[in-house]
């Protein structure tokens, strides 16, 4: 009799363990898709809503023209480690200032000036004058189309990571 009741107890325990395991395995697949579904639209919305009028400008081949001494262009970093290229025509012997300003939120720009081949670095600047905006001053040695790449130093992106860029000459 004792043995029988012991067997019965063991059987009940096994059933309880099985039941609790089944319950868990049923619960976990239902809870994880909910988390995935809420995460995906948020990430998509940030990148889709964030792109500015100058995209795609991720390589020097897709660089968008900026007119010297024209009002600043307003851009933003729309995806992680976004590269923004602009190009302008420089006249030999002319002194140019290329600078970012009106940085949105915690945006930290870095700019690089490239020669007419789009790949040879002439100069680059991360921060100037104690801020996180960037500025390059440069005298063109030869006339031609030059390129500037603008990046967010920490690869941040989204609606709050905005900047203005301007090229000026006397």
Residues forming contacts to Ca ion in the complex (CB under 5 A) are 57-58, 82, 84, 108-109, 126-127, 132
Closer Cβ to Ca ion, 145 or 156, answer by number: 156
CB 103, min distance to Ca ion, A: 8
Closer residue to Ca ion in complex, CB, 126/164: 126
**Nearest-approach distance from CB 80 to Ca ion, in angstroms:** 11
Q: Position of tokens 């690089």?
A: 112
Can you tell me which residue has the tokens 């939120």? Answer: 105
What single string gives the DSSP state of each residue in 140-153?
Answer: -SS-EEEEEEEEET
* CB of 33 vs Ca ion, minimal distance in Å: 33
| Residues contacting 145, CB < 8 A, separation 6+ | 87, 88, 89, 90, 116
In the block, tokens 């020669």 appear at: 115
Residue number, 68 or 127, with CB nearest to Ca ion: 127
């Amino acid at each position: 009799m004792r043995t029988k009741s012991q067997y019965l107890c063991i059987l009940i325990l096994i059933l309880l363990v099985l039941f609790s395991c089944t319950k868990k395995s049923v619960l976990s697949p239902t809870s994880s898709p909910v988390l995935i579904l809420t995460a995906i639209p948020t990430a998509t919305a940030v990148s889709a809503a964030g792109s500015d009028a100058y995209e795609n400008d991720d390589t020097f081949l897709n660089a968008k023209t900026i007119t010297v001494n024209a009002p600043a262009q307003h851009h933003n970093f729309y995806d992680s480690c976004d590269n923004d290229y602009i190009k302008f025509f420089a006249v030999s012997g002319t002194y140019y200032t290329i600078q970012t300003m009106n940085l949105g939120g915690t945006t930290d720009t870095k700019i690089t000036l490239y020669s007419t081949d789009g790949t040879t670095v002439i100069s680059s600047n991360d921060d100037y004058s104690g801020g996180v905006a960037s500025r390059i001053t440069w005298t063109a040695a030869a006339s031609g189309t030059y390129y500037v790449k603008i990046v967010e130093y920490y690869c941040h992106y989204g609606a709050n990571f905005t900047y203005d860029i301007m090229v000026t000459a006397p």
